[in-house]
Amino acid sequence: MAAIDGIGFHGFDTLFTILANAAQRSLDIRRPRRPTLGADEVRLLELICLLQAERPNDAATILDDWLPPAAARAALPPAAGFAQSLAESRLWIPARPGIDAGEQVHVAAVYANRGLVLVQ
């Protein structure tokens, strides 16, 4: 298993603390070992992918969908720290062709990719 440094761990913990306490709606996060990913799980992977690709403005669009403005601004730096830590551990989240930040994702198309299921 790849090691996540303290910055990555802190970023992950802070990001999810903010999401748990400030989300404007229930996020579609499914139980472990489900055969499919929830729509917001997919968006989380996109968030990390965008941050690894140094596209913070596009990543902020995802956070803006989940959080009020101040919380979204506060969540971006820890999310970026987590994404960077993953990248430094050679854990890259690949971009999905044809999906841009802010675009509505047709969930069935996401689930058709077995690779995304294996991430879970």
Per domain, the residue ranges of the chain are: 6-119
pLDDT in tens, the chain (120 residues): 457 778 889 999 999 999 999 999 999 988 888 888 899 999 999 999 999 999 999 999 999 999 999 999 999 999 999 999 999 999 999 887 655 544 444 444 544 555 554 554
Sequence-distant (6+) residues with CB within 8 A of 20 are none
Mean pLDDT, the chain, rounded, equals 84
User: How many Å separate Cα 86 from the centre of its chain?
Assistant: 12
